[in-house]
Structure 1
Amino acid sequence: MEQRLTQLRALMAEQAVPALLVGSAANRRYLSGFTGSYGWLLISAEHALLFSDSRYTLQVAQEAPAYTFHQINFSESPLATVLSAAAQELGIDTIACEANHLSVAEYQQLEQALGREIRLEPKQNLVETLREIKDEAELTTLLRAIALTDAALAAVLERLTPQTTEREAAWMLEVALRLGGAEAVSFPIIVAAGPNSALPHARPGDTPLGEGQPIVIDMGARVDGYHADLTRTIVLGKPDARFWEIYNIVLAAQRSAITGLRPGLATHAADALARDVITEAGYGNQFGHGLGHGVGLNIHEAPGLRRANANSPEVLLRAGMVTSIEPGIYIEGWGGIRIEDLVLITPAGAEVLSQAPKLI
């Protein structure tokens, strides 16, 4: 945690930020180790404070010993009051806040409580910029979550039958993840069979898995706060020629992207490595989402690998980033195929972290 604080303070100094208020759960955990459901950090060049309520007094001492604890009482001394007093005591006259995570109501309450003496300044992505690069401890935890996910899928696949429903399969996968040691699933598990698999974020229902049709399984384990993300498209029984045509295109697109990833490559260009393969095969309109996304304390985090547009600034890949690579083709009335692995960007290119087998 000390190294992360040092890196943040260097970034704050670079951007002339005298103090930063952190309320995002993932950012709070990343910087302090505190895993409670409620809390705020105030970080300056010399001070690190953690504000929370009496439920977490002992937990803060255990998980965030580098921080000075300030207790909040919601009826008598809410965050705005305690923060204002602490800032004045430390001589802080400007506090940057997380514009991406603070509600308008919270911002207005804080601004009013701080008054004219302390200025509140919205800032974006200070901590998220640091979180894009995974340190050794994060990579170790991610690898545990990924291996657990791979193993759970393997254990369940051999038990699936054409009569198994999507909902039953999703529950079997969740049980396998939990029994394997996951603290939770990374997101609601997707199992979508036949035409339902044309929905990228389908919800498992009572549809049987059936035979000879695509079955998209999207799942992940959460371990010590870190998420895995894996998608495989399978088929029970014998697939037809159309299945293999679409599957081979998606697989070729994924391989093209993974082979071409490297530090310095723009995320828009990374997306194009896979999208061009699918477009040239005649299915460009059936690939609507981005190629991938960063994974860590959040299941979706920076960097985002997507097509260039006015609202998607160019980001360059850097060594140490972990991102999903998940091209897909979705055809209404028939179904969809998506193949997803997590990869680590290294100085030499991309290392595939997911080890679950593919059909070919």
Structure 2
Amino acid sequence: MNKQRVKKLQKTLQRRKLDAVLITEPHNRRYLSGYTAADHGIQETAGVLLIPKKGRPWLLTDSRFALQAEEEAQGFAVELYTKGIYALLKKLLPALNVRRLGFESHYFLHSSSAKLEDMAEKVKVELVPLLDLVERMRAIKTEEEIQLIKESVLLNEQVFQAVYKTLAPGMTEIEIALALEQSMQTMGAEGPSFETIVAFGSNAAKPHAVPTNRVLQDGEIVLIDMGLVLQGYCSDMTRTFVIGKAKKKFKQRLRIVRKAQLAGIKAIRAGAVCREVDKAARKVIADAGYGDFFGHSLGHGVGLAVHEAPGLGSRNRKKLQAGMIVTIEPGIYLPDWGGIRLENMAVVREDGCEVLNEDSTGLEL
């Protein structure tokens, strides 16, 4: 258990006059308890946390996860349910004198919410829907977390370079994606942080392209977007390059995307408005005549989840804070030609930002 995180959350509960909170989102569960078991879907849970405003927190799970819960959730009272979570809560909440219970409204199926409401009504507990309570805590990384994420970033680069050296015409998108994901695990990662994207030529015009059996041709664009999980923390990197001789138009567009990325990096600092960072990078691409071909946001936060707060988008008026980690990933996507995206990760600092990546493939101006 991370005592400081739990205590910080308990202070928030006291401030909001809540007697306890139910944590169901898997990354939040791991962040607070250290319990790493994975859900098999939103309909099936490996356990939930019940954290009262004072005292020892609880991990509620079933017999499948009993040993793992005891080993990992140090400081938590582990309670097993045999008749389901809601039957156990029906007993626990009155025993803990819980009258106002917060729950993560953004991570509850309607059917689950109905069961929770039925249980709460029977024990006379008021339910209070909460949004991003723990996510706001997760957005600011400690120096220990930053170091773990940097290790994830550097291992991701090592995997990329190991496979990059083997690339040659005749290979397929699927073949390269499988090689990357296999290398992640053989080199020490828990696995990919998302499904690896490998796209050749015109396929690279799809920002979230799915690898196919398309065969790489000499001189063709290759876009690789990859990330891995190391000690629970994610990395995310995109590189675009050509195997063989690159054409002049590709080089020109690559330089534009790289200049946009550098403009975004330069705009990042504590206090900067997220949409202004997005605007700084987007202006470079727009001024070059490709504004209509950069449709997604400039970046997103990364931590225990590969996509988390903050978002570097044109509608986000929130300010960056020191300790946040974000991606900077501008792109140009042209149907029938292809796409270029370059993505690095950086830590927000008081006077600027610290880029975590060391790999320079495709980044030379």
Q: Tell me if both proteins adopt one fold, taking TM over 0.5 as the criterion.
A: yes
- Map 1:228-267; keep pairs closer than 5 Å: 228-267=235-274
- Aligned partners of 2:18 and 2:53 also within 8 Å: no
Aligned partner of residue 265 in structure 2, secondary structure: helix
| CA distance, structure 1, for counterparts of residue 290 and residue 154 of structure 2 | 32
**Residue 285 of structure 1: aligned partner:** 292
**Residue 94 of structure 2: aligned partner:** 88
| CA distance, structure 1, for counterparts of residue 242 and residue 115 of structure 2 | 54
**Residue 350 of structure 2: aligned partner:** 347
Q: CA deviation at 1:16?
A: 3.1
The amino acid across from 2:91 in the alignment is A
2:54 pairs, out of 46, 64, 71, with: 46
Deviates more, 1:208-217 or 1:86-95: 208-217
Q: CA deviation at 1:26?
A: 0.3
| CA distance, structure 2, for counterparts of residue 71 and residue 191 of structure 1 | 43
Aligned partner of residue 348 in structure 2, secondary structure: strand
| CA distance, structure 2, for counterparts of residue 42 and residue 259 of structure 1 | 42
| CA distance, structure 2, for counterparts of residue 64 and residue 351 of structure 1 | 33
| CA distance, structure 2, for counterparts of residue 300 and residue 323 of structure 1 | 9
- Aligned partners of 1:190 and 1:201 also within 8 Å: yes
Gaps of 5+ in 2: 39-45
- Aligned partners of 1:84 and 1:114 also within 8 Å: yes
- Map 1:115-130; keep pairs closer than 5 Å: 115=121, 117-130=124-137
Aligned partner of residue 75 in structure 2, secondary structure: coil
Aligned partner of residue 106 in structure 1, secondary structure: helix
- Aligned partners of 2:159 and 2:187 also within 8 Å: yes
| CA distance, structure 1, for counterparts of residue 358 and residue 216 of structure 2 | 24
Aligned partner of residue 358 in structure 1, secondary structure: coil
- Aligned partners of 1:213 and 1:243 also within 8 Å: no
Deviation by residue 1:86-136 (Cα, 9 ceiling, x = unmatched): 110011101010011011111110110121510111110100000001123
| CA distance, structure 2, for counterparts of residue 229 and residue 28 of structure 1 | 22
Q: CA deviation at 1:154?
A: 0.8
Aligned partner of residue 214 in structure 2, secondary structure: coil
Deviation by residue 1:139-186 (Cα, 9 ceiling, x = unmatched): 222122111110011111111101111111111211221111011111
1:194 is the counterpart of 2:201: yes
Q: CA deviation at 1:216?
A: 0.5
2:77 pairs, out of 68, 78, 86, with: 68
| CA distance, structure 2, for counterparts of residue 61 and residue 105 of structure 1 | 29
| CA distance, structure 1, for counterparts of residue 151 and residue 231 of structure 2 | 10
- Map 1:161-176; keep pairs closer than 5 Å: 161-176=168-183
| CA distance, structure 1, for counterparts of residue 8 and residue 130 of structure 2 | 17
**Residue 328 of structure 1: aligned partner:** 331
Q: TM-score, normalised by structure 2?
A: 0.94
Q: CA deviation at 1:17?
A: 2.8
| CA distance, structure 1, for counterparts of residue 344 and residue 62 of structure 2 | 40
1:112 pairs, out of 113, 118, 138, with: 118
**Residue 5 of structure 2: aligned partner:** 4
Cα distance change, pair 264–14 in 1 and its aligned pair in 2 (3 A): farther
Deviation by residue 1:267-300 (Cα, 9 ceiling, x = unmatched): 1111111111111111111001000011111111
Deviates more, 1:262-271 or 1:132-141: 132-141
2:144 pairs, out of 137, 140, 146, with: 137
Q: TM-score, normalised by structure 1?
A: 0.95
- Aligned partners of 1:21 and 1:98 also within 8 Å: yes
Q: CA deviation at 1:314?
A: 2.1
Aligned length: 353
Q: CA deviation at 1:19?
A: 1.3
The amino acid across from 1:39 in the alignment is G
| CA distance, structure 2, for counterparts of residue 93 and residue 222 of structure 1 | 39
Deviation by residue 1:50-102 (Cα, 9 ceiling, x = unmatched): 100012222222111211112111xxx21111112111001110101001101
**Residue 33 of structure 1: aligned partner:** 34
Aligned partner of residue 101 in structure 2, secondary structure: strand
Gaps of 5+ in 1: none
- Aligned partners of 2:173 and 2:211 also within 8 Å: yes
- Aligned partners of 1:167 and 1:206 also within 8 Å: yes
Q: Once superposed, what is the RMSD of the aligned Cα atoms?
A: 1.2
Q: CA deviation at 1:196?
A: 0.5
| CA distance, structure 1, for counterparts of residue 265 and residue 12 of structure 2 | 31
Q: CA deviation at 1:29?
A: 0.4
Runs (4 or more) in structure 1 with deviation over 4 Å come to: none
| CA distance, structure 1, for counterparts of residue 74 and residue 68 of structure 2 | 10
